């Protein structure tokens, strides 16, 4: 089992770095539309990071398959990573894979709910 708490904490720190990067280095160089995309990416990055920490706390002493953790991690990487890359000049087709990340984030919450329900009896 992965240490979801540590992974989430590092991911959260990276989300704050990305937010600060936009506030200080990107503001003058990118359009308002690109900055809005970046802000959305940072928001979902941070939410995914907190979800990983919460799941790690939940799963600490429980037998889980880790599906929620993997879904949060991959969903955050695909969703936010594709948006970050597009704003930084990556190909626009990356926008086509962004929803895959969103679906993985939704799956992460549903897997988390399933694990919580299963544990509650």
DSSP secondary structure of the chain: ---HHHHHHHHHHHHHHHHHHIIIIITTTS-HHHHHHHHHHHHHHHHHHHHHHHHHHHHTTS----HHHHHHHHHHHHHHHHHHHHHTT--GGGGGTHHHHHHHHHHHHHHHHHHHHHHT-
Please tell me the distance from the alpha carbon of residue 26 to that of residue 4, in angstroms, as a whole number: 31
pLDDT at 41 over 60: yes
Residues 6+ apart with CB under 8 A from 116: 58
pLDDT (average), residues 26-47: 92
In this prediction the pTM is 0.91
pLDDT 10s digits, 57-115: 998 877 788 899 999 999 999 999 999 999 999 999 999 999 999 999 999 999 999 99
Contact between 38 and 84 (Cβ < 8 Å): yes
92, 87, 99, 49: CA torsion to nearest 10: 160
pLDDT at 35 over 70: yes
The pair of structure tokens assigned to 79 is 């969703």
In the block, tokens 């679906």 appear at 103
């Amino acid at each position: 089992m992965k240490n979801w708490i540590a992974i989430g904490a590092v991911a959260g720190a990276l989300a704050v770095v990305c937010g600060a990067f936009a506030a200080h280095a990107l503001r003058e160089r990118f359009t308002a539309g690109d900055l809005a995309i970046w802000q959305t990416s940072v928001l979902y990055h941070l939410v995914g990071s907190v979800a990983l920490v919460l799941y790690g706390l939940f799963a600490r002493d429980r037998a889980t398959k880790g599906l929620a953790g993997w879904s949060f991690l991959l969903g955050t990487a695909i969703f936010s990573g594709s948006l970050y890359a597009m704003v930084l000049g990556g190909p626009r087709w990356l926008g086509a894979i962004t929803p895959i990340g969103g679906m993985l984030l939704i799956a992460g919450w549903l897997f988390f709910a399933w694990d919580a329900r299963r544990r509650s009896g």
